Structure 1
């Protein structure tokens, strides 16, 4: 459950910055999916149907880490970001030059508004997740990465927020993320090169899945038990499933996760596991009596489930790895 705290009052200097930024931009709500920029103005309609209009094309972009990574892969240089960890602890930034990025938050929901305002962003990029398999968006809750609606409104006073929906078909989300990068001035050559590699990685994964149809399980485990992801509810997993990867389907009902207590963890199947790194590792799993004898675990067919960003570069990286793991895996379950 989210807690709502009283908004922190901003100092006069920051208020003046916010006023200046608000004066040169406006946000309207429309139902169209996108709008083209012109020499005099710039506009973009996000996945919540909000059209952000500026009097010129934005050059200073800030946002949540998950959306900053794709922009950097497409040749853009964001000025500020925040996330659930520091940039140096986020492996997605390892091959990127982050020297020009001001970190304004290194824990979920913590954003230094004064630092963010000082970077004078023209636009801020955020994301939102659906709450059910129908793609419902809970408008009573803030976008991902914000502590609450009050904090999000303070950020929106600094610069207009563009929100990308991380739900539905994964290939569509990748394309949509690329559309935003293009609108923000991504280098066309960089994007074209990334798309070519993405297409090649997709083809390689499809060939691997066809040649060796092992069952893959994506899961998270901690002291409470094991949670198995439902591929149809995760855009990236849905992307891989569309290329032929067979995923283990958990029996427990619910959106996104099928949750197993440790008493029932022996029901989790699959020939190869993708293990989310935030939870238990293989050694810790082997200490759990109900799962220690699992065939995939015993065979050592355990690989990291990386929350790769939904852009051409990030997905190409992970699909290449996944194709290799599937090729090397063997069927260990009935």
Structure 2
């Protein structure tokens, strides 16, 4: 489970890997042939092919151009990346990272046949060195994986290329960016299942808009904990639903740092919501706390699930949004 800053949990215990990285550096040669350029050119997600190799222009990080001698074939991914790229028929040699067993992240993706070389913030650098991947793909930015310390990322990116997952300003930008990344890695975007997923996504958007039309329901996207209620105003998911006609409520995000709005439990009722979306909703073992259980949406079972780090594919979003639309049809105005 990720911490509430949405980026970097405290993984001091898990990231004592500097000595293993030294082994990785000695084991990997410069023949991986990857380079990173930030020349300020427009980021389009295009692939440039020439006698010197191929370049991936990152679709959401302007000016990030990742250069390879040839199309990357041997890949290591965090589970967020695999959940997004598996539907594009891109399979890694190994996986690592957070939420590998979280159905809200992995969906239908099965990792049982893929080697797992790390869990949460830990990674087996000796195994990574043996794999000698052409690229490591995961949640992060141009400097590396979100949950490695800066010095670890510097060493990692000195011997292989880190490809950050698309993380732009909207859901649809990221869905498109995922497909561009998949295409660079060899996916056929004309595949019938991908075309069907795009059409299903379009239909799901229309169905959700129809479901909320005229009902004036207030939606709150949350991640509840025993200590505090976190709300996701301003998140891409919240903005996406708002664009489709939902009214979003919750605490405003801070100006910088942790993007989650923080609500003390004593103040939770001051954000009246007809529908509450719970991150990683577990219907078998739902979250429970006295002040949470007294909220009208909880009392009336007007709850649905969502995931801030779910698979960024048209297929996954169509499935989630269509399910939400069906639920909303049965929900009532409570305030």
TM-score (norm 1): 0.82
265, 268, 273: which one aligns with 1:270: 273
Conservation of the 8 A alpha-carbon contact between 2:207 and 2:325: yes
The structure-2 alpha-carbon separation of the partners of 1:219 and 1:91, relative to structure 1 and needing over 3 Å to count, comes to closer
**Correspondence for 1:9:** 19
The structure-2 alpha-carbon separation of the partners of 1:36 and 1:215, relative to structure 1 and needing over 3 Å to count, comes to same
Equivalent runs, 1:1-334 vs 2, <5 Å: 8-10=18-20, 14-22=24-32, 24-31=33-40, 32-33=42-43, 34-38=45-49, 40=51, 41-46=53-58, 47-48=60-61, 49-85=63-99, 87-107=100-120, 109-128=121-140, 143-144=145-146, 146-188=147-189, 189=191, 190-230=193-233, 232=234, 234-250=235-251, 254=255, 256-277=259-280, 282=286, 284-285=288-289, 287-288=290-291, 291-307=292-308, 308-333=310-335
Deviations 1:63-98 (A, max 9, x none): 22112211101111122222224x344454352343
- Cα distance in 2 for partners of 1:114, 1:304 equals 38
CA shift, 1:122, in A, is: 1.3
CA shift, 1:252, in A, is: 7.4
Conservation of the 8 A alpha-carbon contact between 1:17 and 1:158: no
Deviations 1:271-325 (A, max 9, x none): 011112389965613x23xx44322122111222234222211211111111112
**Correspondence for 2:4:** none
CA shift, 1:44, in A, is: 0.7
Conservation of the 8 A alpha-carbon contact between 1:72 and 1:96: yes
Conservation of the 8 A alpha-carbon contact between 1:276 and 1:306: yes
Gaps in structure 2 of 5+ consecutive residues: 1-8
Conservation of the 8 A alpha-carbon contact between 1:42 and 1:57: yes
Cα root mean square deviation, aligned: 2.9
Conservation of the 8 A alpha-carbon contact between 1:35 and 1:44: yes
- Cα distance in 2 for partners of 1:98, 1:292 equals 35
Gaps in structure 1 of 5+ consecutive residues: 130-138
Conservation of the 8 A alpha-carbon contact between 1:36 and 1:42: yes
Conservation of the 8 A alpha-carbon contact between 2:229 and 2:265: yes
The structure-2 alpha-carbon separation of the partners of 1:239 and 1:128, relative to structure 1 and needing over 3 Å to count, comes to farther
The structure-2 alpha-carbon separation of the partners of 1:21 and 1:13, relative to structure 1 and needing over 3 Å to count, comes to farther
- Cα distance in 1 for partners of 2:281, 2:66 equals 35
TM-score (norm 2): 0.82
- Cα distance in 2 for partners of 1:50, 1:253 equals 28
SS of the aligned residue for 2:165 comes to: strand
Conservation of the 8 A alpha-carbon contact between 2:216 and 2:247: yes
- Cα distance in 2 for partners of 1:278, 1:332 equals 21
The structure-2 alpha-carbon separation of the partners of 1:228 and 1:83, relative to structure 1 and needing over 3 Å to count, comes to same
